[in-house]
Every structure is written in structure tokens, then in C-alpha cells.
Amino acid sequence: MSDALVMTDREAETFVMKLLSERGPQSTLDIERFARKEHRRCPDQTVLFLMKMKRKGMILGEVSMEKKGWLWSLP
């Protein structure tokens, strides 16, 4: 992962919003995998960054038993 570009907060927010708008609800792991394919990563641990976005009201998050973790979507 050392070759992954650490995105700024703004870049990561844009990345997540675009991903969710194009692909619908995604798990934390799905978001990490997609970012890795793009050789990018969130400024913090992914779940912490997504929680910050949730607190700002940018995205929704709920625990999914099916996905065994958080499922993120747009409001």
C-alpha cells in the first residue's frame, strides 16, 4: 500500500460521494477495495474517515448484518 496516494480530506470526500452515487450503497471494505484499485487511500483509517463524513451529514451509515460491518449510502 506504500504506493497508494493519500488523498486530502476534500479529495476523499469527493471520491466517496462519487463512488456512492455511481454504485449505490457500499460497505467499508468495498470502498477500501475500490480506492486501492485506484492506488488511493483515505487520510485516516477508512471507517474513521467515513464516520467523520457521516457526522457532517454528507453520507448515511448503518450497521449491516449481511455485510458484517458498516454500509454507507448517500442521504
CATH 3.40.50.300 fits 5-73, yes or no: no
pLDDT digits (tens, 9 = 90+) for 22-70: 999 999 999 999 999 999 998 889 999 999 999 999 999 999 999 889 9
Say yes or no to pLDDT of 20 above 60.
yes
Q: Taking the CB of residue 7, how many other CB atoms lie within 10 A of it?
A: 19
Cα angle vertex 49, ends 56, 23, to 5°?
A: 85
- 64 exposure class (CB count in 10 Å sphere: 0-12, 13-18, 19+): middle
Given this model, what pLDDT does residue 25 score? 97
The one-letter amino acid code at 61 reads G
Q: Where are the domains of the chain?
A: 5-73
Grid coordinates of 70: 458498516
Say yes or no to pLDDT of 1 above 70.
no
73 band by pLDDT with thresholds 50, 70 and 90: very high
2 band by pLDDT with thresholds 50, 70 and 90: low
